[in-house]
């Protein structure tokens, strides 16, 4: 944005310089006096001059190029890359996370963040929905997500709701809640990987 403003200022100045009359700086009737009193040190042969409005055209081209470049960057940022399917057993990933939690290597907040992440990746791989770009409500309302979850849709809603409360509302989940969340996550990601509840 700052670069665009600078280019616009340069264009405005260049336009004023090119369109201002050359004689405006010489007072009326003083041309002969100036010619007599000031020595002309320029070469007798006129040097090469740029066509009118060349600088203005170059500035406009630079502005257009900058605008297209910024638009291309915004489009690239919006591009979503879906996670690729992994050969690892999804339930094994959850079990590893559960073991880390019980050893005290991850706290409640990190546990819920990773549970939600594992589940969202499973949903994205199975349904093709960019789960990481959607809120919990938006994700679960997607027709493709409803299809792959089948009767587990309500359980997935409860799981993600708990994770959101812990992550964003500083909810101090009890151990029994977290154990239930791990078990639900293990079941959901396993079913997603196998397409067990997918509605045809």
pLDDT at res. 25: 46
| CA 116 to each of CA 22, 35, 39: distance values in angstroms, whole numbers, following the listed order | 71, 84, 82
In this predicted structure, the answer to whether residue 22 has a pLDDT above a threshold of 50 is no
Its sign, for the CA torsion 178, 179, 184, 190, is positive
User: Does the structure show a pLDDT above 50 at 84?
Assistant: no
Give yes or no for residue 75 having a pLDDT over 60. no
Q: Which two tokens stand for residue 34?
A: 């100036």
Per-residue pLDDT reduced to its tens digit, 50-67: 555 666 666 677 767 777
For the segment 95-113, the average pLDDT, to the nearest whole number, is 93
pLDDT tens string 155-197: 999 999 999 999 999 999 999 999 999 999 999 999 888 775 5
159/141 Cα distance (integer angstroms):
15
**Residues 106-133 pLDDT 10s:** 999 999 999 999 999 999 999 999 988 8
CA–CA dist 90, 93 (Å, integer): 5
Q: Where are the domains of the chain?
A: 1-19+53-79, 90-194
Give one DSSP letter per residue of 131-173, joined into a string: GGGS-HHHHHT-HHHHHHHGGGHHHHHHHHHHHHHHHHS----
- Both tokens of residue 17? 């310089």
| Phi and psi based region of residue 107 (left: phi greater than 0; alpha: psi -120 to 50; beta: remaining) | beta
**pLDDT computed for residue 9 by the predictor:** 60
Whether 10 has a pLDDT exceeding 70, the answer reads no
């Amino acid at each position: 944005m700052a670069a665009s403003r600078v280019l616009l200022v340069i264009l405005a100045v260049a336009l004023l310089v090119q369109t201002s009359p050359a004689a405006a700086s010489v007072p009326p009737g003083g041309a002969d006096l100036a010619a007599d009193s000031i020595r002309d040190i320029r070469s007798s042969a006129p040097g090469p001059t740029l066509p009118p409005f060349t600088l203005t055209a170059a500035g406009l081209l630079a502005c257009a190029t900058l605008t297209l470049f910024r638009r291309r960057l915004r489009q690239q940022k919006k591009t979503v890359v879906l996670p690729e399917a992994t050969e690892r057993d999804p339930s094994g990933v959850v079990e590893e996370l559960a073991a880390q939690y019980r050893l005290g290597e991850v706290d409640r907040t990190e546990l819920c963040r990773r549970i939600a992440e594992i589940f969202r990746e499973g949903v994205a791989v199975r349904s093709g929905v960019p789960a990481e770009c959607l809120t919990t409500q938006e994700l679960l309302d997607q027709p493709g997500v409803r299809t792959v979850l089948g009767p587990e849709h309500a359980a997935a809603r409860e799981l993600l709701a708990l994770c959101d409360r812990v992550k964003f509302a500083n909810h101090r989940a009890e151990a029994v809640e977290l154990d239930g969340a791990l078990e639900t996550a293990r079941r959901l990601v396993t079913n997603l990987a196998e397409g067990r509840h997918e509605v045809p």
